[in-house]
Amino acid sequence: MCQWRTPLICLSLVCLALHSGCADSDEPQPVAATEPATETVSIDGSFPRLLGDHFDGRAVGQVALDWSSKPQVAWTLPVGAGYGLGSAVNGVYYQLDAEARFQGGVEQLRALDFQSGKELWKAERKFSYQDLYGYDNGPRGTPTVAGDRIVTFGVDGMLCCRQLTNGDLIWKVNTKSKYGVVQNFFGVGASPLIHDSLVIVPVGGSPEESQQVAPGRLDRIRSNDSAVVAFDLQTGEERWHCGEDFASYSSPRTATIDGKTVVLQLARNQLLVIDPDDGKVLWQYPHRASILESVNASMPVVKQDEVFISECYQVGSALLQVRLDGPTPVWVDPPSRRREQAMRCHWSTPVLVGDYLYGCSGRNNPDSEFRCVQWSTGKVMWGDASQIRTSVATADGKLVVLSEDGVIEILQPNPERKQVLHRYDFGDQLKAPCWSAPIIVGNRMLIRGDEKVLCLSVAAGSDTK
């Protein structure tokens, strides 16, 4: 059982490894499903990776939605260990989880018809991993889809590339053994980035002399320039590695700086800005709490030439104006003065609407609240004092906020106050924790709890706003 109220660090995303093998099977197994709850079903649009194609959690598919009635359950998918939701491409949903909750188990990647929930194929591999803090032992990340490939990054550090059509294994890399990863607190939590012909992941390995250090003692080990590693999408061969740092739970993303595409990786100790052509680190910006048991987990948020980064333990947030030759801070939270900090993101990435960030600030209950923060100044416009952690997505001009206990709030973005339009409780159907941000494709919404994924059908609305 997931011990999600353990009083140490609580994450939905988590990074690095023990030992694994790979035994693959595409033997289909039926999945329980019900008929769609409404006649209107729109699943147009692609959500191929964590937070979607543009890393912003925005719904895909041009569909007007009517949130005034409670979304109905179209189908239900039982899931095993892990915390992540999946990806959706061309009317197919891909979910990664594991069948076992203790050391040793079977990781499973399943493809489901998005309309009916019917299983199309399943691929499996055996793995071995034991969480250091008692959280469950399944994968934390989201599968990434590009072309005819789907790539997964297991909690044990196994990177697998498969055929999208049937789940057949094309290549795999055990990043733990290849790069000498000393196990981090919660295993691997990042999701792969596919950019052009590269698969880019945070690894954070160490030289041989660090291998005798106990797992989790990241203060006693050295890095070996493998904070981020790029592999060839077709072959799995390494193309480059870079970064004297360790892996975080934050996933890599792309951004455009001075007209050039770069990779942003909020690693354990700093933000790395990397040239994906050759793996050169263009510059880095330190950003991490000084205590050992602290992490970076939320993804950077980008607006034109500005990048927002955040953590919840000591240093809070910073907004950087970025160029290829380095950053200029726009505003920076005062370190160790959390009551004066604008936003303290734990594992949830906030969304940007106009000049305002909306997201969860705080580490644990009752230290958490949903906030609105002005992007350009870092001014806190309001906080709701909900004392519970949330994830957020955007759809049809609204904020969709999911609490970790399964309550959905539909908000009108409003920098003056928290404007709740509708509130629906799915806690009786979803066992906590609900740590993944909702995924909305057309008029379908996916939410996940500890033991199941619900595919919800949202009523169609008028195109008139």
The enclosing domain of 289 has a CATH number of 2.130.10.10
Q: Are 100 and 155 in contact (CB under 8 A)?
A: no
Cα dist from 189 to 106, 157, 185, 213, whole Å: 17, 9, 10, 21
Rounded CA-CA distance 248/406 in Å is 26
Token pair for 332: 């920076």
Number of independent structural domains in the chain: 1
Residue 408 lies in a domain: yes
Residue 6 lies in a domain: no
Q: How many CB atoms lie within 10 A of CB 332?
A: 16
Residue 4 lies in a domain: no
207, pLDDT greater than 80: yes
Residue 7 lies in a domain: no
The pLDDT value recorded for residue 465 is 44
Residue 8 lies in a domain: no
Residues of the domain holding 94? 19-460
The pLDDT value recorded for residue 105 is 87
Residue 84 lies in a domain: yes
32 — pLDDT class (breaks 50, 70, 90)? very low
7 — pLDDT class (breaks 50, 70, 90)? very low
Rounded CA-CA distance 275/318 in Å is 22
The pLDDT value recorded for residue 463 is 59
Nearest 10 degrees: CA dihedral of 283, 289, 293, 294?
A: -70
Residue 358 lies in a domain: yes
Tell me the mean pLDDT in the region 109-126: 97
Q: Are 3 and 339 in contact (CB under 8 A)?
A: no
42 — pLDDT class (breaks 50, 70, 90)? low
Token pair for 456: 């919800």
What's the CA angle centered on 245, arms 102 and 173, to 5 degrees? 50
106, pLDDT greater than 50: yes
216, pLDDT greater than 50: yes
6 — pLDDT class (breaks 50, 70, 90)? very low
- Helix, strand, coil share of the chain (percent; to 5): 0, 40, 55
Which of the 8 DSSP states describes residue 443? T
178, pLDDT greater than 60: yes
Residue 11 lies in a domain: no
Residue type for position 332: V
